[in-house]
């Protein structure tokens, strides 16, 4: 939030002033008598027999800001809310459990239409009876005006209570059934991930990649890309490359990196594009997108060795480290879409501005390359994008490609510096454990693949922060801000952070990361596992009782917690030689088999786990001191080869913790140096080939199909 002086600070405050969420704090001076979700608000609704108006959003949400300006800052609207309702404001990022339940109600009530701000009306018993999203102040856009809606609902609550309660019972039943698991019974077959990958490739836009999701919106299809890449890799190993998969992957990566959805000056990726060309983004930058999209680019680089994909991944990482990593090490959540009350104002340019900053010669080259014109390419403004390659642009401007590229590099630097002098979009500086886990995983994998230690170190700092600051007696917390952590973690906090720890171990071979992953995975099973039907609940066994205790299964903006937990179980089972964890993974897959088998789209991360299960991983053990150059050469050889079906472990027989490592990872036992040299053992199902000491020989071994 922008700081205000005591003289200019609004005199009126409500209960949200004590929140840590930037989204709630944005509403702390509304005339609406807001409550945070909690016992006080719920008790007031019961005592005064009033319906609850539940408003759910997040700080980077453009239409949330619009509804606040139009309605929540309006004295007349606030008067109706304060008189007839108990108004509760929730940050969906801090309370994803509430968001999931009441988004289900919204989707059901509106026949599949949902979004934020979410506006749901509840009985004092928390049962929804009416649900929607953004409502304008007066009837327009085919939506009822918010003031009229409030008046109508208040009247119905007083005059036609049976009708309202009947609606609440019906909608509550539907919510409890929504997304329920369909009986399965057996683990799904091994060919399903391949079939889904082919179907995804067929559904991708043949011209600009990706898929539209509701009208013309295109979200970065990170999870689909990584599933398709796995299947392409499998086809290459089988000697029958499915080029159509790779073509659609690279087409999508290419057009996203050219488009306005990608920040060509500062790095980072926006949440989605509002058109099929990837030109006009919804300008907010979410941490989870930086994690997932950078991960897709890095994996594509590993699989193809195309340096362009590595460059995009680095740019996203550098943006995150520059703009979203706190001094304490944790990663902030988002940058807003709006600045100075205008969506995208921080990012767009006029041709005159570019020429003023760069001068006529360099400015003309930059404008030609980045599609900057007097008329603009969006509402009279210009969003930087690349439509033609450097060779074509150089020819059109009568310069050599090298001269153009030098001008572009210098131009980007100067335009970035000029942009930094603008009023920046608001930054949501809360630290969410789950989203940090995603970013830690991507940085650790990317740092290892690129040989960039700074990314691995940044991931380690974030992991240390979560373990120290976003934990309470060993239990993970969901959120931290301004020195305060609160709300015990949900399934995705545990699953995503455990994944990050596993990737940190693979990037550093520091055994402490693996030990923490094991401890937290055991806690996850203890508090979230459904002993009766299998799989993990979204909330812990000692969490606040809500309308329903859900199990997340379908991927959304972030992967399903159960799907990430599935892969964690399988990786840990392989590394620790624990049959109990593999059995848990099987039970989880059986729990979702019916649901996924009937309609497998939207379960990309689950299918990646299923694929891993059916292809027992290659186990690579490297033996030698990690500081020894011969050991490092073997590690580099392993990291050169893209292989998502692999776990890698390190043993240093001379280190003080050698025995501790062997107790944790039994596969290390009995493996030593060969002729006094560091060695690599490549194994499958605990059966190992002859150890190798030469990095080149190891590389050939890893590239050879089984």
Nearest CA among 271, 288, 267, 262 for reference residue 218: 271
Residues in the chain: 706
Determine the average pLDDT of the residues in 128-141.
93
Nearest CA among 451, 446, 577, 436 for reference residue 498: 436
Q: What is the 3-state secondary structure (H, E, C) of 620-660?
A: EEEECCCCCHHHHHHHHHHHHCCCCCEEEEEECCCCCCHHH
Cross-strand bridge partners of residue 378: 381
Least confident of 24-38, 171-185, 357-371, 617-631: 171-185
pLDDT at 447 over 60: yes
Q: Are 540 and 528 in contact (CB under 8 A)?
A: yes
Q: How many angstroms separate the CA atoms of 608 and 600, rounded?
A: 12
- Dihedral class, residue 594 (left if φ above 0, else alpha if ψ from -120 to 50, else beta): alpha
Whether the link from the prior residue into 117 is cis, omega within 30° of 0, is: yes
Exposure class string for 278-305: b at 16+ Cβ within 10 A, else e: bbbbbbbbbbbbbbbbbbbbbbbbbbbe
- Dihedral class, residue 189 (left if φ above 0, else alpha if ψ from -120 to 50, else beta): beta
Question: Residue 359: CA atoms inside 13 Å, Cβ hemisphere, count?
Answer: 7
Q: How many angstroms separate the CA atoms of 324 and 429, rounded?
A: 8
Name the DSSP letter for residue 444.
H
Q: Are 99 and 92 in contact (CB under 8 A)?
A: yes
- Percent share of the chain, pLDDT over 90: 91
**Integer CA distances (angstroms), 680 to 367, 630, 645, 695, 700, in order:** 52, 11, 17, 9, 12
DSSP string, 151-214: HHHHHHHHH-HHHHHHHHHHHHHHHHHTTPPPP--SPPPTTHHHHHHHHHHHHS-TTT-S-B-S
Mean per-residue pLDDT of the chain = 95
3 state SS of 512: helix
Question: Residue 597: CA atoms inside 13 Å, Cβ hemisphere, count?
Answer: 16
Phi, psi of 407 (to 5 degrees): -65, -40
Q: So what's the pLDDT on residue 175?
A: 94
3 state SS of 332: strand
* Predicted TM-score (pTM) of this structure: 0.95
pLDDT at 102 over 80: yes
pLDDT at 1 over 60: no
Name the DSSP letter for residue 426.
P
Q: Are 92 and 435 in contact (CB under 8 A)?
A: no
**Cβ neighbourhood burial of 670 (10 Å; 0-12, 13-18, 19+):** exposed
pLDDT band at 366 (very low <50, low <70, confident <90, very high): very high
Nearest CA among 302, 324, 398 for reference residue 703: 302
585-605 pLDDT tens trace: 999 999 999 999 999 999 999
Name the DSSP letter for residue 4.
-
Sheet strands (E) in 61-165: 86-91, 118-122, 128-132
Q: How many angstroms separate the CA atoms of 402 and 285, rounded?
A: 32
pLDDT at 577 over 70: yes
**Cβ neighbourhood burial of 10 (10 Å; 0-12, 13-18, 19+):** exposed
164-191 pLDDT tens trace: 999 999 999 999 988 777 777 899 999 9
42-100 pLDDT tens trace: 999 999 999 999 999 999 898 999 999 999 999 999 999 999 999 999 999 999 999 99
pLDDT band at 706 (very low <50, low <70, confident <90, very high): low
Q: So what's the pLDDT on residue 10?
A: 56
pLDDT at 705 over 80: no
Nearest CA among 381, 351, 345 for reference residue 364: 351
Determine the average pLDDT of the residues in 678-684.
96
228-267 pLDDT tens trace: 999 999 999 889 999 999 999 999 999 999 999 999 999 9
- Percent share of the chain, pLDDT over 70: 98
Q: How many angstroms separate the CA atoms of 89 and 36, rounded?
A: 5
Q: So what's the pLDDT on residue 5?
A: 35
Q: Are 423 and 346 in contact (CB under 8 A)?
A: yes
């Amino acid at each position: 939030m922008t700081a205000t002086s005591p003289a200019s600070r609004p005199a009126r405050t409500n209960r949200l002033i004590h929140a840590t969420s930037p989204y709630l704090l944005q509403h702390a001076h509304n005339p609406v008598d807001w409550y945070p979700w909690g016992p006080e608000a719920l008790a007031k609704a019961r005592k005064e027999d009033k319906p609850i108006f539940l408003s759910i959003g997040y700080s980077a949400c453009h239409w949330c800001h619009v509804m606040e300006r139009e309605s929540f800052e309006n004295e007349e609207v606030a008067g109706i809310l304060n008189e007839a309702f108990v108004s509760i404001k929730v940050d969906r990022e801090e309370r994803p459990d509430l968001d999931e339940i009441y988004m289900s109600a919204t989707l059901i009530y509106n026949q599949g239409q949902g979004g934020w701000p979410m506006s749901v009306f509840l009985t004092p018993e928390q049962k929804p009876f009416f649900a929607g999203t953004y409502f304008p102040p007066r009837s327009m856009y085919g939506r009822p005006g918010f003031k009229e809606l409030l008046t109508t609902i208040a009247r119905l609550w007083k005059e036609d209570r049976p009708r309202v309660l009947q609606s609440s019972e019906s909608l509550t039943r539907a919510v409890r059934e929504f997304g329920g698991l369909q009986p399965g019974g057996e683990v799904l077959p091994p060919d399903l991930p391949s079939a889904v990958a082919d179907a995804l490739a067929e559904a991708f836009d043949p011209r600009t990649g990706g898929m539209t999701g509701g009208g013309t919106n295109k979200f970065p299809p990170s999870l689909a890309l990584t599933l398709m890449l796995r299947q392409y890799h499998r086809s290459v190993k089988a000697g029958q490359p499915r080029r159509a998969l790779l073509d659609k992957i690279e087409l999508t990566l290419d057009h996203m990196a050219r488009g306005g959805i990608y920040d060509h000056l500062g790095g980072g990726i926006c949440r989605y594009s509002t058109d099929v060309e990837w030109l006009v983004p919804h300008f907010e930058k979410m941490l989870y997108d930086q994690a997932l999209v950078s991960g897709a680019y890095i994996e594509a680089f590993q699989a193809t060795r195309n340096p362009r994909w590595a460059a995009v991944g680095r740019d996203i990482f550098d943006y995150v480290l520059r703009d979203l990593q706190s001094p304490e090490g944790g990663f902030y959540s988002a940058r807003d879409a709006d600045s100075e009350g205008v969506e995208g104002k921080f990012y767009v340019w006029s041709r005159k501005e570019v020429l003023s900053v760069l001068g006529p010669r360099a400015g003309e080259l930059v404008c030609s390359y980045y599609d900057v014109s007097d008329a603009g390419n969006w509402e009279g403004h210009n969003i930087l994008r690349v439509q033609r390659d450097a060779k074509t642009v150089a020819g059109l401007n009568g310069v050599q490609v090298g001269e153009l590229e030098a001008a572009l590099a210098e131009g980007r630097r100067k335009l970035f510096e000029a942009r930094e002098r603008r009023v920046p979009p608001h930054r949501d500086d809360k630290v969410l454990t789950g989203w940090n886990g995603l970013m830690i995983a991507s940085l650790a994998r990317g740092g290892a693949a690129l040989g960039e230690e700074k990314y691995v170190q940044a991931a380690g700092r974030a992991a240390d922060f979560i373990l120290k600051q976003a934990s309470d007696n060993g239990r993970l917390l969901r959120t931290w801000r301004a020195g305060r952590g609160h709300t015990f973690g949900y399934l995705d906090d545990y699953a995503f952070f455990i994944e990050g720890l596993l990737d940190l171990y693979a990037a550093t071979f520091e055994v402490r990361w693996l030990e923490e992953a094991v401890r937290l995975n055991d806690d996850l099973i203890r508090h979230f596992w459904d002993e009766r039907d299998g799989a993990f609940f979204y909330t812990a066994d000692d969490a606040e009782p809500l309308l329903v205790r859900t199990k997340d299964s379908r991927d959304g903006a972030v992967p399903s917690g159960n799907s990430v937990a599935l892969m964690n179980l399988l990786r840990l089972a392989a590394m620790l030689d624990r049959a109990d964890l593999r059995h848990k993974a099987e039970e989880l897959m059986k729990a979702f088999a019916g649901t996924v088998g009937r309609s497998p789209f939207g379960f990309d991360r689950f299918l990646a786990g299923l694929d891993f299960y059916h292809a027992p991983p290659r186990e690579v053990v490297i033996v030698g001191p990690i500081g020894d150059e011969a050991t490092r050469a073997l590690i580099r050889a392993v990291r050169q080869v893209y292989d998502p079906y692999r776990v890698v472990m390190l043993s240093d027989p001379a280190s003080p913790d050698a025995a501790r490592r062997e107790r944790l990872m039994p596969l290390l036992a009995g493996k030593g140096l060969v002729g006094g040299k560091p060695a690599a053992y490549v194994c499958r199902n605990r059966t190992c080939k002859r150890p190798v000491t030469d990095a080149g020989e190891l590389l050939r071994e890893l590239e050879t199909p089984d």
